[in-house]
Chain A
Amino acid sequence: MSDITILGGGVAGLAMAAELSGRGAAVTVVDPAGPVGAHACSWWAGGMLAPECEGVLTEPEVVRQGRKAAEWWAGQGAEVVRNGTLVVALGRDQRELASFARRAEGVASLDRDGLKALEPHLAEHFDRALFIESEAHLDPRASLTGLQARLEGRGVRFVTEPSPSGQVIDCRGLAARDALPDLRGVKGEMLVVRCPDVTLSRPVRLLHPRFPLYIVPRPDHVFMLGATQIESGERGRASLRSVMELMNAAYALHPAFGEAELLEIGVDARPAFPDNQPRLRQGADRLYANGLFRHGFLLAPTLARMAADWLLDNRTPEVWFEDHCER
């Protein structure tokens, strides 16, 4: 049986552990910070499994691979909600909807009645929306802790002290910058609020030329508002400007958010390569899996599957692979 050590227990490391242990490998996950939590970038994620929406701003391969994510997470026991995504724009930005609809696939146009049938609260303020029915979302924190518990139950070891044995997969995110010079951080700030006056059943994206926003519903009228995208490796310090912009956009989406209770202000930096696409990079002593950018939950399953193909079956990954160590 193959012996594999995974460095880093965020979304990349856990997905990797799930895939490899599921295929029979003996897996140890090393994370000096302990069980998955606030130290992982993915803890602050929105949890949208929205390949079509992401496709508007990214490469087709992200869309192709991302379409497999919802099924993968459901297969790992995560509670995946398949209610689609809604996209709206404020009055004078209506044209943004047209270009979004042209650039994404599987988009349906809704009038007020159509919107009302899906999200009555949103129909109070918008008379048009786009609907991408095939998309899904999950609760990132519940999914990560759930997956870790499931893996422990399956015999995956979780340790805080590194004692690498066998093959090593480095999933340390931005912490692996020491070895990956082309990796950079892209700062993101997010808010978690409770708003009993608003009910949403699916993520909503507000298109705006300067302050785009998405809102992801969590249980009990809790909402995640995200997320800024700033070219900076800073992992702390949410700025008043960013928080204000997020709040403003949420208020514009529905005035009831003005009365929401502010539960949390989160900030971290996403690890990204120059093309904002992830990589499996084979180094001399380890395989790096990194650069998930804003697509941790969307693309970690693909990276994990390809890494397992490579390490267990010697099958060369079909995308995002670099062999820096010809063997």
Chain B
Amino acid sequence: MPVFYGREIASRLMLGTAQYPSPAVLAEAFRRSGAGIATVSVRREAGGDRAGQDFWELIRDLDVALLPNTAGCHSVREAVTTAQMARELFDTNWIKLEVIGHGDTLQPDPFGLVEAAQALTEDGFEVFPYCTEDLVLCSRLVEVGCQVLMPWGAPIGTGLGLNNLYGLRSLRAHFPDLPLVVDAGLGLPSQAAQAIELGYDAVLLNTAVAKAGDPAAMAEGFARAVEAGALAHGADPMEPRDMAAPSTPVLGMPFK
């Protein structure tokens, strides 16, 4: 099971907590999925005087590890301030760092990301950067102290799956010992299974579950897919080959 900053988590599934029909449905989705980590947004839209407290209490009641995020932040300063607020609110050094560089695709800003990750790491945070699968960016993030990387599969909320298999595979090969999480872009359990089959340690998703007609059933579907992916990865899959290979030789036709 994945270990993030020295803490082992009992599931390879991480779920976001936004956009569910109700907190009760959200709780049921967590229960059926066995997800080990919940991300929670601390955007200041919730207002001062801890006006979002009631919802955050419901998230705490899920009894999973909390990973606050800086969702919706478009600048380094905004992200750093939000992270500090999150640390105070949730009493954790963990922060999922989002610095959005493009308003429409919500693509991460790689330059701001490195700068913010460095500032936060120096300030004692344990940073989970939401990044692209760019190898150079990921190397920089590791250099400034990130001990986990969270490349996207596809843009947030698209459900397109793993857009760049080559890039994700190459990242895994270059960082064999670093926890890697596919974050964002997953729409179906099969795509989550695929990420884990590639050797990724976990997947993080939100929309695919929250916006499903039956979020709890979809959450369970993802949980099972992730388990299937982990079994497959651990079982040393066969190499694909172009030629059909009968598992039993056909007598009298040795070369067919």
Contact = CB atoms under 8 A, between A and B. Distances in A.
Nearest to A276: B22
B47 to A, nearest CB: 4
B89 interface: no
Point out which of A231, A233, A241, A277 has the most chain B C-beta atoms below 10 A from its C-beta.
A231
B24 A274 contact: yes
A234 B46 contact: yes
B51 A233 contact: yes
A210 B47 CA distance: 20
Interface in A189-241: 209-210, 230-234, 237, 239, 241
B157 A210 contact: yes
A67 B24 CA distance: 23
Contact of A231 (B21, B27, B52): B52
A193 B25 CA distance: 35
Interface string A242-276: 10000000000000000000000000000010111
Which of B22, B24, B52, B157 has most A Cβ within 10 Å?
Answer: B22
Contact of A233 (B23, B24, B27, B54): B54
Interface residues of A, number: 24
A281 interface: no
A103 interface: yes
Contacts of A232: 45-47, 51-52, 55
Interface string A46-64: 0000000000011000000
A128 interface: no
Nearest to A231: B55
Nearest to A228: B45
B165 interface: no
Interface residues of B, number: 21
Interface string B44-60: 01111101111100100
Nearest to B56: A231
B46 A230 contact: yes
Nearest to B40: A231
A239 B52 CA distance: 15
A172 B21 CA distance: 24
B213 interface: yes
Contacts of A57: 21
Interface in B1-57: 21-25, 27, 45-49, 51-55
Nearest to A269: B51
B126 to A, nearest CB: 25
A187 B21 contact: no
A137 interface: no
Contacts of B213: 99, 102-103
Interface in A280-317: none
A233 B51 CA distance: 5
A185 interface: yes
Given A184-B54, A232-B47, A275 B157 contact: no
B55 A184 contact: yes
22 contacts: A58-B21, A58-B22, A102-B213, A187-B51, A209-B157, A209-B207, A210-B157, A231-B46, A231-B55, A232-B45, A232-B52, A233-B54, A234-B49, A234-B51, A237-B47, A239-B45, A241-B45, A272-B22, A274-B27, A275-B24, A275-B25, A276-B23
Interface of B: 21-25, 27, 45-49, 51-55, 58, 157, 207, 211, 213
